[in-house]
Structure 1
């Protein structure tokens, strides 16, 4: 994990190793402070694992977008060794279950910029193909711009308590509401003038104060229900004011990188 300009890129190091979306969004859901996601609810969720010698830990989140590819953040894959990583799907727990896949290729955006945290989008190609089941399914990507003021849901295995470095075993969920990039820029400009304005490749969402994404949540999916009640992904968690402070969290926009994503999974 690392801090930059006082912000938090949500990489994790050294972490221990059946319901609907509408039900989750309507419920009391949070990550810091902790609420378990319903098993099988986020069957698109990926745990990206890091390996060193005989140790393994959850490093980043991601989402299955087809039989071979995972969507995540650029800083989760940039300058990483694919042989020191793997992908686990099909389990809402870290310590057991799920299917493991080796990694064939890591694809960070070519214009990923750590100093200003822009173009923070990346793709992982696995070896072979995912075996789809009721626990393992791809998530559809939203082509259009995400609506403002829309309830959305984030899932991940990041810290549930930053000070104590508490790590959940069960997948956690948190409700957000999307806000405009202009509003987000105004809120983030005082503490982080070098990181704004929020651009077309980013989107922001607010959640209750004292709740939010933290270490280990990078790359995780932000999803909504569209007009047809289909679950679609609108964002990939990128950076936050650490952790669970009264600021918006910043995501890479699926809409903003839709063409880039499609061109890299063909």
Structure 2
């Protein structure tokens, strides 16, 4: 299972909820979407690793620093979080490696997250959900999204990656920042994308991710 998956929790008063997903880069840093951490108060946030259920389990870490991309805007949506202390690895908690080159087109990939399973009813799952997609080309993606309600958000650029969804399923609120992964020829799991945006929840358009390849250097530089 997804040992690299994390949950970003937000607290207000005595209530707490899962707000976004993310992935473990190393003992100190977590990768997520910029919109999950932009103008938020890290005092009200924490990171939970090592569990596939929201209501129990896992290890919790406080946040030392939120680092959304300096040029964060609608299409440019990547960020990292530095935690306090160091993440303790185990068989349930492991980092994920990033794919350096462009993700291949027409390749099966997997998304994990706790986003809404029913958009109309705002149903939030307790168990981590998994969904298989297929990568498509940015040109194909741009053509399809031009017809969407958000034509001003295209063309998708080299910093983005698109996938074809299964019918009536897709990324939704709460999945943001979560990891899209593939298996390479040696069966190694590599992260290729971070959930960014879509035409709300399982409509007939591709889902759009920030491309790990597109921001590879930025991510490496911020972790120094």
Once the 2 structures are TM-superposed, how far is the Cα of residue 246 of structure 1 from its aligned partner? 1.1
Taking the aligned partners of 1:213 and 1:119, their CA distance within structure 2 comes to 18
Once the 2 structures are TM-superposed, how far is the Cα of residue 118 of structure 1 from its aligned partner? 1.8
4+ residue runs over 6 A deviation: none
Verify: 1:165 aligned to 2:129, yes or no.
Answer: no
Secondary structure, aligned partner of 2:132: strand
Structure 1 partner of 2:36: 76
Matches within 5 A, 1:21-100: 41-100=1-60
Verify: 1:105 aligned to 2:62, yes or no.
Answer: no
Structure 2 partner of 1:133: 90
Q: TM-score, normalised by structure 1?
A: 0.83
Matches within 5 A, 1:1-266: 41-113=1-73, 117-191=74-148, 192-266=150-224
Secondary structure, aligned partner of 2:156: coil
Q: TM-score, normalised by structure 2?
A: 0.99
Taking the aligned partners of 2:143 and 2:75, their CA distance within structure 1 comes to 17
Taking the aligned partners of 2:103 and 2:157, their CA distance within structure 1 comes to 14
Taking the aligned partners of 1:243 and 1:142, their CA distance within structure 2 comes to 26
Q: Which has the higher contact order (CA 8 A, sep 6+)?
A: 1
Taking the aligned partners of 2:116 and 2:39, their CA distance within structure 1 comes to 24
Q: Residue by residue, what CA displacement relative to the aligned partner does 1:103-129 show, whole Å, maximum 9, x if unpaired?
A: 00000000011xxx1210000000000
Once the 2 structures are TM-superposed, how far is the Cα of residue 193 of structure 1 from its aligned partner? 1.9
CA RMSD, Structure 1 to Structure 2 (Å): 0.6
Q: Residue by residue, what CA displacement relative to the aligned partner does 1:81-109 show, whole Å, maximum 9, x if unpaired?
A: 11010000000000000000000000000
Structure 2 partner of 1:20: none
Taking the aligned partners of 1:206 and 1:156, their CA distance within structure 2 comes to 17
Once the 2 structures are TM-superposed, how far is the Cα of residue 59 of structure 1 from its aligned partner? 0.2
Secondary structure, aligned partner of 1:49: strand
Q: Residue by residue, what CA displacement relative to the aligned partner does 1:198-238 show, whole Å, maximum 9, x if unpaired?
A: 00000000111200111100000000001111000000000
